[in-house]
Amino acid sequence: MKTMTTMPSLIFHKPVQSKYLFLVLALNILFSLTLTHGYSLKDCTVKGSLNSTNLKVLCYKRQLQAVPDSIPSRSRALDISYNKISLIKRNDLRDLSNLQHLNISKNMIVEVEDGAFRGLAALEELNLEFNKLKTISDGLFQNLFNLTFLRLNENRISEISSSAFLPLRSLVMLNLSGNHLHSIHKAQPAFLMPNIQELHIGKNGFASFESLQVSNTSIQLKALDLSHNPLQLFRITADIFPHLETLDLALINTSIKWEVQNKDYFRNVNRLNISGIQLATEETKELLRTFNSTLDNLRLYYFGEEKAKSLVKDACLITSLTSLRLESNGINSISENELKHCKNLILLDLAENHLTNISPLTFKSMGKLNTLSLTHNKLKKVPKAIRNLSSLKVLDLGYNSITTVACSDLTNLTGLITLHIYRNPLSSVEHCAFQDLQNLKVLLIGSARLFTLKGYFMRGLQSLQRLDTSHNKLSTIQKGIFKGLLNLTHLEFQDNQIQILEEGAFEGLDNLIILDLQSNKLTKSSISASIFSGLPNLKELVLNNNRISYTSQSSLSVPPFKNLNSLHSLIIFSQGTDGMKYFPSNLLEGLANLKKLWAGNININSLHPETFTYTPNLWLVDFSKNNLISISADIFQPLKKLSALTMIQTGIQSLDFVIQANINEVQVLLVRKNSIAVINENLINAFSKLSHLDLQGNEFSCDCDNAWFIDWAVHNNDTQVLSLDKFTCNYPSNLRGSRLLDLDRDSCIVNVGLLCFISTTFFILLTLLSSFLYHFLKWQIVYTYYLFLAFLYDKKQQHNQNETVQRFQYDAFISYNTHDELWVMKELLPKLEGEQGWRLCLHHRDFQPGKPIVDNIVEGIYSSRKTICVISRHYLESEWCSREIQVASFRLFDEKKDILILVFLEDIQPQHLSPYYRMRSLIKKRTYLSWPKPGIDTQVFWQKLRAALEITGSSKN
Ligand SMILES: *[C@@H]1O[C@H](CO)[C@@H](O)[C@H](O)[C@H]1NC(C)=O
Ligand SMILES: *[C@@H]1O[C@H](CO)[C@@H](O)[C@H](O)[C@H]1NC(C)=O
Ligand SMILES: *[C@@H]1O[C@H](CO)[C@@H](O)[C@H](O)[C@H]1NC(C)=O
Ligand SMILES: *[C@@H]1O[C@H](CO)[C@@H](O)[C@H](O)[C@H]1NC(C)=O
């Protein structure tokens, strides 16, 4: 196939070539148009390559009403959660014999047809939670011998067939909570699976639990969840749970009768949750005694202050208890007397209470206390009770009303590793507050009211690794304030008011890896090179949502990041309301190891060709939401390692610049929401490693130019074209809005045999003829060809214009080269449109996307009264002799009509014009305008231009 396709490309010109290629391909795939074997799935995204052992197919949140078809049979994971599927049909999943993980949760499934899962022999995890299943029938789980985890919670299941779970020999975890089983008897099949270890049957309306209803011999179960059931009776009369370790009896909201004949039945239970259980205090204590000797982890939530405190005393008598959680009990105060037996606790959780008062000696006896949570309470001060707790490693004081941290508050907490004071109205911290925290690694003091950090970290904290001071009111980072923090690796300042980084602000942070300064008020002068010196290990610098902006693209005398040699990621998207405006040519100087750059939404419209010469290691670049219509290839040329390019919503009309830049390592190309009309074969061939192509929301041209692309997108096995089925046409206008995939590609195919015959004959004749003609009559032929085209076009236009009353849409069409775009935008446009009120036609702005560029330009010329050519050397080299100008030449060069206005942007000697002989003759005969040299007044120029625009038969209207 290769030889067949390359040969004709030598002779056919472009559209023919792509049609021909399509033809060859079409033969190979037998005109199949369905999405059956390819990689680009309707409604789904694929992660991993098609032949990898880790292929994941993600189809969640797509409003699907049925299981998507054509899921690759090698898929290991399929996620179709959060959709509107109500029925799983017998054959929906039939080919997925490699599937290990299937998530169908949060749909509206009422029915799964028998045997629907029969082909999923490798399935290990099945998630059906939050659906509307009513019954579990016999055949539902047939063949799922390897299933390990099954979630059926939050359905409407009221019946389970007695043999439904029989095939589930490997099942370890089953969740049936939140169903309508009502009688424990109906859940019996769940207890009898040979390998079941964890069973959730909470919230099922069970009125009783009796061991006899379940089994009379011992079972494997390790964890049993019976929470949220209105149990009136809990009766264990046989030793059926010898392995049980975790028992959840939370929120049993009826008064329960507790009958466990032998304490020994729960001899291995070590985790117990009886939160909010409706039992009198004495009976609850009796219940607790059932678990004496093994229990180490106990939850007592939702009892109210009095009962909770009363239970705590008894709970702490259980000598094995090490973890006690007392959340949401409305506790106002606590004292040493109430916790006096709790000597063995390692973890104490008092979160979500109303604590205002903790008496000083409360935790004194807890010599092993390691983790203490006091978060979400009403403490106004750091409680004295925590002082001297040298065993404490984790202390959470977040979400309280603490206003200051004094020097004595954290005395002798020498073992502390993590301290959260997040979300307190903290306005000051004394200088020596952290002095004893020699081992602290993580300090979170965000969302407070700190105006400064000066002096807070003077003493202690030599082990600190992460400091989070986000959401405060800092405006200046003073010199040397982090000097002692030799081990700091993460420093976070997001969402403060920082405007000034003093020289030396980050002094001493030799080991800093991440510096997050997002959402502050930094300007270009805040981020000088010297600020970022002395950070030899910094890998990630986060500067998005600040106010950094520049007034020109020219190089900075001292580029700000030049000392950040180790930096891997620079994040500078979204600067202020006006954006960064310009991207200085050497902004990235010094970042020799930069790998990722996020620079979206900074309101720039060009990049200097030198921009990336400093960053040869970049592999991810994001310039989304900038206006980069006229970006040129040379900018990307230095990026030989680029593998992900993101240019969403940048106005680009073609991807040719990526081909020319020769960046062929690209694997991910995200160019959503642009104005790309055609994807041709050259582009795809330029990216041999492309795995993700996102082209959603472009303005496709639905003609044969895209036939090759469609076919490739549907059938290739290496590149995933995201949401291919959602691409719509923008051109021609009669197809606008219809699906690109629906393009009638048959019309792009001509009879094969005949075409081969004709093309071969034609080829031979053409070769002979063209070599002859080329030799003798080269220029005449080219010229005649264009003249002929121009003649045809002029006739056509005149004909059109005779039919409709002649009224020009524009006053002038502006023809210019992209290199001169700045002049056009900054000088010409404001003057002529803004001040003088002419209507101009600019191709970037006024062209109909999706329409071929030649048609656009020629139509622009014919629907404008005048054409202004902005002439520079670049213009002469590329634009002047272009096909577009040639095709419109009948109108432009007609001596009788005064249509053409020439504006010279630079001095061009007449001898340099000689190759453009038409230009030379025009200049001889006509007046032309020259843009004044810098420093000379432009007034006269604009007057002359106005006069030139006014001269005409028809008047301006
Ligand atoms: C997948 O196949 C391609 C060629 O078809 C091969 O280069 C690549 O190494 C394969 N990947 C895996 C993970 O097998
Ligand atoms: C089931 O699991 C076993 C053990 O992990 C494995 O050897 C076997 O291949 C699996 N069966 C299927 C059909 O994948
Ligand atoms: C638990 O047992 C220990 C001795 O094994 C005993 O001292 C303690 O009082 C018992 N606790 C309860 C709550 O019965
Ligand atoms: C800190 O601990 C040391 C040694 O255990 C002790 O001598 C000192 O009094 C304690 N400091 C305070 C302020 O309690």
Residues listed for the chain:
957
Kindly tell me if the per-residue pLDDT of 934 is higher than 80: no
Q: Which ligand is nearest to the CA of 54?
A: 1
Q: Which ligand is nearest to the CA of 295?
A: 3
Arithmetic mean of pLDDT over the chain:
86
For residue 661, CA distances in Å to 91, 587, 588, 637 come to 48, 21, 19, 5
* Rounded Cα distance, 424 and 437, in Å: 20
If you average pLDDT over residues 683-703, what whole number do you get? 89
Please tell me the distance between residue 366's alpha carbon and the centre of ligand 4 in angstroms.
17
Tell me, what amino acid is at 501?
A: L
* Token duo for residue 422: 């997040």
Residue nearest atom 13 in ligand 2 by C-alpha distance: 122
For residue 52, the ligand 1 atom closest to its alpha carbon is 13
Please tell me the distance between residue 122's alpha carbon and the centre of ligand 2 in angstroms.
6
634-672 per-position pLDDT tens digit: 899 999 999 999 999 999 988 888 888 888 889 999 999
* Rounded Cα distance, 257 and 279, in Å: 8
Mutation choice for ligand 3 from 318, 321, 344, CB with most ligand atoms inside 8 A: 318
If you average pLDDT over residues 877-884, what whole number do you get? 68
* Rounded Cα distance, 256 and 231, in Å: 6
Residue nearest atom 4 in ligand 3 by C-alpha distance: 293
Q: Which ligand is nearest to the CA of 718?
A: 1
Q: Which ligand is nearest to the CA of 144?
A: 2
For the chain, give the percent of residues with pLDDT over 70.
Answer: 88
What does DSSP assign to residue 107?
A: S
3-state SS of 650-702 is CCCCCCHHHHHHCCCCCCEEECCCCCCCCCCHHHHHHCCCCCEEECCCCCEEC
Please tell me the distance between residue 387's alpha carbon and the centre of ligand 4 in angstroms.
9
pLDDT recorded at residue 105:
98
* Rounded Cα distance, 950 and 753, in Å: 59
Going by pLDDT thresholds of 50, 70 and 90, the confidence category of residue 883 is low
Residue nearest atom 5 in ligand 3 by C-alpha distance: 293
Kindly tell me if the per-residue pLDDT of 255 is higher than 60: yes
For residue 145, the ligand 2 atom closest to its alpha carbon is 1
Ligand 1 neighbourhood includes 356 CB (under 6 angstroms): no
Asked whether the bond before 68 is cis by omega within 30 degrees of 0, the reply is no
* Rounded Cα distance, 948 and 30, in Å: 61
Residue nearest atom 4 in ligand 1 by C-alpha distance: 51
Say which residue, 153 or 943, is predicted with more confidence: 153
Query: What is the Cα Rg of the chain in Å?
Result: 38
Residue nearest atom 8 in ligand 1 by C-alpha distance: 51
Q: Which ligand is nearest to the CA of 169?
A: 2
Ligand 1 neighbourhood includes 86 CB (under 6 angstroms): no
- Is the sign of the CA dihedral 5, 10, 12, 17 positive or negative? positive
Residue nearest atom 10 in ligand 1 by C-alpha distance: 51
Tell me, what amino acid is at 700?
A: F
Please answer whether residues 58 and 84 qualify as being in contact, where contact means their C-beta atoms are separated by less than 8 angstroms.
no
47-83 per-position pLDDT tens digit: 877 767 788 999 999 999 999 988 888 899 999 999 9
84-104 per-position pLDDT tens digit: 999 999 999 988 999 999 999
Going by pLDDT thresholds of 50, 70 and 90, the confidence category of residue 856 is confident
Do the first three CATH levels of 1-171 and 778-950 match, i.e. the same topology? no
For the chain, give the percent of residues with pLDDT over 90.
Answer: 58
pLDDT recorded at residue 336:
92
Please tell me the distance between residue 696's alpha carbon and the centre of ligand 1 in angstroms.
27
342-358 per-position pLDDT tens digit: 999 999 999 999 999 99
Q: Which of 312-326, 327-341, 773-787, 816-830 has the lowest mean pLDDT?
A: 773-787
* Rounded Cα distance, 713 and 160, in Å: 46
For residue 146, the ligand 2 atom closest to its alpha carbon is 1
pLDDT recorded at residue 11:
27
Helix then strand then coil, in percent of the chain rounded to 5, is 25, 15, 60
Residues at CB less than 6 angstroms from ligand 2? 121-122, 146
404-435 per-position pLDDT tens digit: 999 999 999 999 999 999 999 999 999 899 99
For residue 285, the ligand 3 atom closest to its alpha carbon is 13
Please tell me the distance between residue 90's alpha carbon and the centre of ligand 2 in angstroms.
23
Mutation choice for ligand 3 from 319, 320, 324, CB with most ligand atoms inside 8 A: 319
Please tell me the distance between residue 146's alpha carbon and the centre of ligand 2 in angstroms.
6
Ligand 3 neighbourhood includes 855 CB (under 6 angstroms): no
Ligand 1 neighbourhood includes 525 CB (under 6 angstroms): no
Q: Which ligand is nearest to the CA of 298?
A: 3
* Rounded Cα distance, 128 and 105, in Å: 5
Ligand 1 neighbourhood includes 717 CB (under 6 angstroms): no
Class of domain 1-171 as given by CATH: alpha beta
* Rounded Cα distance, 369 and 385, in Å: 12
Q: Which of 61-65, 142-146, 190-194, 786-790 has the lowest mean pLDDT?
A: 786-790
List Cβ neighbours of 261 (8 Å cut-off, separation of 6 or more).
Answer: 236, 237
Please tell me the distance between residue 342's alpha carbon and the centre of ligand 3 in angstroms.
13
Q: Which ligand is nearest to the CA of 52?
A: 1
Please tell me the distance between residue 55's alpha carbon and the centre of ligand 1 in angstroms.
13
Say which residue, 601 or 34, is predicted with more confidence: 601
Say which residue, 829 or 616, is predicted with more confidence: 616
Ligand 3 neighbourhood includes 292 CB (under 6 angstroms): yes
Residue nearest atom 13 in ligand 1 by C-alpha distance: 52
If you average pLDDT over residues 297-324, what whole number do you get? 95
For residue 51, the ligand 1 atom closest to its alpha carbon is 1
Q: Write the Ramachandran bin of 544: left for phi over 0, alpha for psi from -120 to 50, otherwise beta.
A: beta
* Rounded Cα distance, 757 and 765, in Å: 12
If you average pLDDT over residues 695-722, what whole number do you get? 89
Residue nearest atom 2 in ligand 2 by C-alpha distance: 146
For residue 50, the ligand 1 atom closest to its alpha carbon is 1
Sequence-separated contacts (24+) of 746-754 with Cβ below 8 Å = 746/31, 747/704, 748/19, 748/22, 748/23, 748/704, 748/707, 749/19, 749/22, 749/23, 749/26, 750/19, 750/23, 752/23, 752/27
pLDDT recorded at residue 521:
96
Please tell me the distance between residue 395's alpha carbon and the centre of ligand 3 in angstroms.
30
Kindly tell me if the per-residue pLDDT of 209 is higher than 70: yes
If you average pLDDT over residues 273-291, what whole number do you get? 91
Q: Which of 132-141, 146-155, 872-881 has the lowest mean pLDDT?
A: 872-881
Residue nearest atom 3 in ligand 1 by C-alpha distance: 51
Kindly tell me if the per-residue pLDDT of 472 is higher than 80: yes
Q: Which of 362-366, 461-465, 716-720, 948-952 has the lowest mean pLDDT?
A: 948-952
Ligand 1 neighbourhood includes 52 CB (under 6 angstroms): yes
354-384 per-position pLDDT tens digit: 999 999 999 999 999 999 999 999 999 999 9
Residue nearest atom 8 in ligand 3 by C-alpha distance: 317
Say which residue, 18 or 562, is predicted with more confidence: 562
Please tell me the distance between residue 193's alpha carbon and the centre of ligand 3 in angstroms.
36
Please tell me the distance between residue 241's alpha carbon and the centre of ligand 2 in angstroms.
29
* Rounded Cα distance, 664 and 646, in Å: 15
Q: Which ligand is nearest to the CA of 411?
A: 4
Residues at CB less than 6 angstroms from ligand 4? 388, 411-412
Mutation choice for ligand 1 from 51, 55, 74, CB with most ligand atoms inside 8 A: 51
Ligand 1 neighbourhood includes 688 CB (under 6 angstroms): no
Residue nearest atom 3 in ligand 2 by C-alpha distance: 146
What is the pTM assigned to this prediction? 0.75
Ligand 3 neighbourhood includes 263 CB (under 6 angstroms): no
Residue nearest atom 5 in ligand 1 by C-alpha distance: 51
* Rounded Cα distance, 206 and 213, in Å: 12
Q: Which of 28-37, 40-49, 482-491, 810-819 has the lowest mean pLDDT?
A: 28-37
Ligand 1 neighbourhood includes 613 CB (under 6 angstroms): no
The CATH number corresponding to 778-950 among 3.30.750.210, 3.40.50.10140, 3.40.1190.10, 3.20.20.80 equals 3.40.50.10140
CA 460 to chain centre: 40
587-613 per-position pLDDT tens digit: 999 999 999 999 999 999 999 999 999
- Is the sign of the CA dihedral 653, 659, 661, 666 positive or negative? positive
Please tell me the distance between residue 101's alpha carbon and the centre of ligand 2 in angstroms.
13
Ligand 3 neighbourhood includes 289 CB (under 6 angstroms): yes
* Ranges of each domain in the chain: 1-171, 778-950
* Rounded Cα distance, 646 and 671, in Å: 6
Q: Which ligand is nearest to the CA of 50?
A: 1
* Rounded Cα distance, 466 and 7, in Å: 63
Kindly tell me if the per-residue pLDDT of 688 is higher than 70: yes
**CB count in 10 Å sphere of residue 800:** 12
Q: Which ligand is nearest to the CA of 408?
A: 4
Please answer whether residues 372 and 392 qualify as being in contact, where contact means their C-beta atoms are separated by less than 8 angstroms.
yes
pLDDT recorded at residue 755:
65
